[in-house]
Amino acid sequence: MSDAGSTQVIDLLPHRGSALIIDRIVRLNPESGSGVIESSFTTALIQQLHQRLESIDVPHDSDQIVPELAVLEAFAQGCGIVWAAGQKDPDDAEHGLILGSAATVHFQCRARTGRAVHHHITLDSDLGSGASFSGKVIDASDGQVIATIGSLLAVRALATPTNN
């Protein structure tokens, strides 16, 4: 990821370290509430995810297959970028969104490590206290649809109170 691209992602998301699974912004259109965001799942990242998910007994096929939960999390992080880029008030974007629910999610195939995926995201509505998104996750190398997301709902994160 280029320095400019990584700075832009870091400016728009609160995630850091291994929690950040977005690599770069391919295209962002704040006026229309849409964007294409890229993730490349490395084998090391997937191994870390498998270790974390073992505690909740999530089975995994291999370190070459990206868990569907990780694909959905990357899509949700992309939604946060699309939403934050369109906020007029910097304080609104700073607080971000928290994933509330996802519905009508269909996986047509599995994402694989070492292959970039593009999250094609549309902001369907911004209600102030939350937002809804839809879109597709596509393998960037062959154009195959990995998943379609009919509805992802997110709520605005509350500001952390300060102790005065």
Q: How far apart are CA 96 and CA 83, in angstroms?
A: 8
In a domain, 142, yes or no: yes
pLDDT in tens, 146-161: 999 999 999 987 665 5
Comparing CA positions, the residue from 100, 107, 98, 41 lying closest to residue 70 is: 41
Confidence at residue 154, expressed as pLDDT on a 0 to 100 scale:
92
**Structural domain range at position 92:** 3-156
In a domain, 161, yes or no: no
The pTM for the full model equals 0.83
pLDDT in tens, 77-126: 999 889 988 887 766 555 678 888 999 999 999 999 889 999 999 999 99
In a domain, 164, yes or no: no
Name, in order, each residue with C-beta under 8 angstroms of 108's C-beta and a sequence gap of 6 or more.
Answer: 144, 145, 146, 147, 148
> What tokens does 131 get?
């937002």
In a domain, 122, yes or no: yes
pLDDT in tens, 28-66: 999 999 999 999 888 777 777 767 666 655 555 565 788
Q: How far apart are CA 87 and CA 68, in angstroms?
A: 29
Confidence at residue 103, expressed as pLDDT on a 0 to 100 scale:
94
Number of domains forming the structure of the chain: 1
Confidence at residue 37, expressed as pLDDT on a 0 to 100 scale:
94
Name, in order, each residue with C-beta under 8 angstroms of 132's C-beta and a sequence gap of 6 or more.
Answer: 123, 124, 125, 151, 152, 153, 154
pLDDT score of 25 more than 60: yes
Confidence at residue 118, expressed as pLDDT on a 0 to 100 scale:
97
The CATH number assigned to the domain holding 36 equals: 3.10.129.10
In a domain, 163, yes or no: no
In a domain, 162, yes or no: no
Q: How far apart are CA 164 and CA 161, in angstroms?
A: 9
In a domain, 85, yes or no: yes
In DSSP notation, 66-101 reads: --HHHHHHHHHHHHHHHHHHT-SSHHHHHH-EEEEE
